[in-house]
Amino acid sequence: MDFVDYYKILGIDKTATEKDVKSAYRKLARKYHPDLNPNNKDANKNFQQINEANEVLSDPVKRKKYDKYGKDWQHAEEFEKQRQYQEQSSGSRGSGFSGGQSGDFSDFFESMFGGGGGSRGRQSRYRGEDFNAELHLELIDASKTQKQTLTVNGNNIRITIPAGIENGQTIKIAGHGGPGINGGPNGDLYITFSIANDPHIKRLGDHLYTSVDLDLYTAVLGGEITIDTLSGKVKLKVAPETQNGSKIKLKGKGFPVYKNEGHFGDLFVTYNIKIPKNLTDKQKELFTELSKS
């Protein structure tokens, strides 16, 4: 456990007055407050640090203890026992340091002050911290509604992921974030989905795009081919004289529309016509004949 220099965190020196502490805290809090830096983990971490520093330095009792035992915080417990003994001896009941909800305070803070102290001043009931998580899915998984169990802070949460979820989309699971402070409501859990690229099928919204190789003879004369889609194999009739790069649309064979059961986008298939290689003499002869016709 490392020593945490709260003065350095707030950018003030040891002689700073209570007003200086407040002013330094406000300035930094405005810069790093999570409400002003959504989804910014670094800012959140900085905010926790300055919050912790403020919690100690704005409280004369905690600050005194910190100033006295800061670097030798291991002696703090000894100090505490001695203080409690003195208080008991004099018949008073000291309130000690508030050992309320242990939130996002450092190990250093908790070992010294026994958990995060409640906020002073307005004493409002704070909503708990929002949690953010990322869930990775394959394209095929995102095309089907599925249930998954996630473990967040030791709790198992069963969630239903609706088919058609978009890459980068975030869903909110209300009440599954951090616990509220001073009786405030729990925060929410935000899950952002990361959907892997599929090597064969591309997705844009609800539509899917793929390409298939077509031999020259089928392209010229027409025929039937079988292609893979997310919902299985599909037989396709190829029209005679199909051009290279031409596209066809398979209506309703695309991606499911998010939260709109039974509705699907379309699948667009692009034909890549392959020219035959290693022709035999006979084949060359036939092509020559064709070219003259």
Interface residues toward other proteins, by CB under 8 A: 26, 29-30, 33, 35-36, 38, 122-127, 166-169, 197, 199-200, 202-205, 209
User: Which residues have C-beta within 8 Å of that of residue 231, sequence separation ≥ 6?
Assistant: 143, 253
Our CA angle for 171, 172, 176, nearest 5°, is 140
| 86 vs 182, beta carbon nearer other proteins | 182
Nearer to other proteins, 26 or 284 (CB): 26
Give the integer Cα–Cα distance in Å for 30 and 36.
8
Using CA atoms, how far apart are residues 116 and 122, in angstroms rounded to an integer?
A: 17
- Residue placing its CB nearer to other proteins in the complex, 69 or 209: 209
Query: CA-based Rg of the chain, rounded to a whole angstrom?
Result: 33
Give me the phi and psi of 171, to 5 degrees please.
-115, 150
Residue 255 Cβ, how far from other proteins at the closest point, in Å? 12
Minimum CB–partner distance for residue 50 and other proteins (Å): 12
What minimum distance in Å lies between the beta carbon of 199 and other proteins?
5
- Kindly state the smallest distance separating residue 184's Cβ from other proteins, in Å: 9
Minimum distance of other proteins from residue 81's CB (angstroms): 34
- Distance in Å, CB of 197 to other proteins, minimum: 6
Comparing CB distances to other proteins, the nearer of 13 and 35 is 35
Q: Dihedral angle at the C-alpha atoms of 191, 194, 195, 199, nearest 10 degrees? A: -170
Distances (CA, A) of 157 to 67, 133, 149: 43, 13, 5
Closer to other proteins by Cβ: residue 25 or 73: 25
Nearer to other proteins, 179 or 223 (CB): 179
Yes or no: say if 277 and 216 are a contact pair by the CB < 8 Å rule. Answer: no
Is the separation of the CB atoms in 101 and 179 below 8 Å? yes
User: First CA to last CA across the chain, in angstroms?
Assistant: 87
